[in-house]
Amino acid sequence: MSGPEALRPDEDLASAISGASRTDAKRLAIIDAATQLFIARGYDRTSMDEIAASAQVSKQTVYKQFQDKPSLFREMVLGITQRAEGIVEAISAHFEGIDRAEELEEGLRGLARSYAGAVLAPPVIRLRRLVISEADRFPDLARAYYVRAPGCGLDAVADGLRLLDRRSLLHVDDPPVAAGHFSYLVLGQLIDRKLFDPSDQITDTEIAEHSHGAVRVFIAAYR
Amino acid sequence: MSGPEALRPDEDLASAISGASRTDAKRLAIIDAATQLFIARGYDRTSMDEIAASAQVSKQTVYKQFQDKPSLFREMVLGITQRAEGIVEAISAHFEGIDRAEELEEGLRGLARSYAGAVLAPPVIRLRRLVISEADRFPDLARAYYVRAPGCGLDAVADGLRLLDRRSLLHVDDPPVAAGHFSYLVLGQLIDRKLFDPSDQITDTEIAEHSHGAVRVFIAAYR
DNA sequence: GTCTATAGCAGGATAGAC
DNA sequence: GTCTATCCTGCTATAGAC
């Protein structure tokens, strides 16, 4: 609501300069605490008391800022999802760096490694599990997340493959389908492992080896 | 515990003949009700009262048969997982039916279709989501499920690919790795869609088209 | 506007009748 | 061994003090 664009007399100077009112700061603290707790403990096992305590705010303040627990959960998930854009840019950058045929295999390997590294990062995979877990209770939220996170990744890969097709480095008739093949060759099994076993620490070496095989298969099919 | 192999004096004749005591029958009814409810509503949102009511048994009987809610959940998941063996046999049968090079592509397509159909069946995918959802609370159970269900599927595919390699229909140096490629080319994206959107009805036609593309990529890499 | 206190309720687990 | 009734805890959400 309020932002740095206006000085309102009911705010003290410090908060006006910092660009956020006290209530906005508390709102952020609440969202932050909710993010940590929901991701770490799940929806049902996180109580509004815990969120308030962790945000160092009273429970009443939480209910002033957010209508109820479902609303807070929605805002948290949708807010965090916007940060997924970083991955998309990284994917595009990798593709654009592939100019010549000799660079193709190593370029795709590098892409696969950073793609997998981003998706398998502990907070990211935990958020994925959380959203999947609550897909029955929040079906619209799960669909929105799918479009914004995995969907955007797939789109970025499709765009990149279209580029490589134009550069005559690959033959890609149907970029979205090919993007699905690439993405799930690279990510499918690793995501599954992490979803079922949160404690499974997938090393960079494993990711690299897995990416190597996945890229080899992909290139064999689309060269 | 008890079964048809022994007549025990503390059971009446009818239950001895039927092979199950009254308590065993109730135990089964409880497991059955728990299966339906846990899969439909999740762990936290299913109460022991509901399970008892659905099994037409008093709550006390539930607690006589099962120590507590976690125990009941564990038995339910491990019990249902054993039925996954049907899929494994179907996979093996498909592979063994592939004898000649002309049959390869269509044979693998048929395999892919029935593999995907089995894994994406609503109760199966819901169980998968349930186990993933509770992976933090029941890590041992999630690992056991992964080994018994997706793991067995992967093993069966690896065995089949080894067979096709021996028959010189494919070149498969590392069957487990190739099985991962095949399985996640076929299943990855569809599982993801269903995990995020339970209401997404994937048609047989979609499965067939997806399988077609996945098998084309796989064969291009492993022929 | 923020905190303390509490209403109201649901669910897991148990005690005691039969 | 099975059912009815109950205890206790923990949670969401709100009312009222300051």
Mean pLDDT of chain A: 90
List every span in chain B annotated with CATH 1.10.357.10: 81-222
List every span in chain B annotated with CATH 1.10.10.60: 13-66
> May I ask the CATH class of domain A13-66?
mainly alpha
Interior CA angle at B187 toward A90 and A127, to 5°? Answer: 50
Contact A129 B131 (CB under 8 A): no
Contact A132 B195 (CB under 8 A): yes
Q: Which of residues 61-80 of A touch B (CB under 8 A)?
A: none
Contact A143 B187 (CB under 8 A): no
pLDDT at A15 over 70: no
By mean pLDDT, which of A14-28, A67-81, B178-192 is the weakest?
A: A14-28
The values of phi and psi at residue A174, to 5°, are -125, 90
pLDDT band per the 50, 70, 90 thresholds, residue A13: very low
Q: Could you say which DSSP state residue B67 is in?
A: S
A216 touches chain B (CB under 8 A): yes
Q: What residues approach strand C to within 7 A at the CB?
A: A 10, 22-23, 26, 57-61, 64; B 45-49, 59-60, 63, 68-70
A187 touches chain B (CB under 8 A): yes
Residue contacts between A and B (CB atoms, under 8 Å): 116
Protein CA at A69 to nucleotide C1' at C15, angstroms: 36
Q: Which of residues 129-148 of B touch A (CB under 8 A)?
A: 129, 131-133, 135-136, 139, 142-143, 145-146
The tens place of each residue's pLDDT in chain B, 223 residues long, gives 333 433 344 444 444 445 456 677 888 999 999 999 999 999 999 999 999 999 999 999 999 999 999 999 999 999 888 767 788 999 999 999 999 999 999 999 999 999 999 999 999 999 999 999 999 999 999 999 999 999 999 999 999 999 999 999 999 999 999 999 999 999 999 999 999 999 999 999 999 999 999 999 999 999 9
Q: What is the mean pLDDT of residues A43-66?
A: 94
pLDDT tens, position by position, B156-190: 999 999 999 999 999 999 999 999 999 999 999 99
Helix segments in B67-174, DSSP class H: 69-81, 85-96, 101-120, 122-133, 139-146, 152-166
Question: What's the confidence (pLDDT) of residue A81?
Answer: 81
Q: Is the pTM of this model over 0.95?
A: no
pLDDT tens, position by position, A143-158: 999 999 999 999 999 9
Tokens of A173: 């008739």
Q: Which of B215, B146, B206, B147 is nearest to B185 (CA)?
A: B215
Tokens of A51: 């969120």
B171 touches chain A (CB under 8 A): no
Contact B185 A181 (CB under 8 A): yes
Q: What is the mean pLDDT of residues A5-31?
A: 60
A122 touches chain B (CB under 8 A): no
Q: Which of B31, B27, B38, B22 is nearest to B64 (CA)?
A: B27
In percent, the amount of chain A with pLDDT more than 70 equals 89
Contact A42 B136 (CB under 8 A): yes
Find the CB nearest B42 among A136, A188, A216.
A136
In percent, the amount of chain A with pLDDT more than 90 equals 83
From residue A204, give the alpha-carbon distance in Å to each of A210, B1, B184, B188: 10, 47, 20, 22
Residues on chain A touching B38 (C-beta within 8 angstroms): none
Architecture of domain A81-222: Orthogonal Bundle (1.10)
Find the CB nearest B189 among A41, A42, A184.
A184
Note whether A153 and A92 are within 8 A (CB).
no
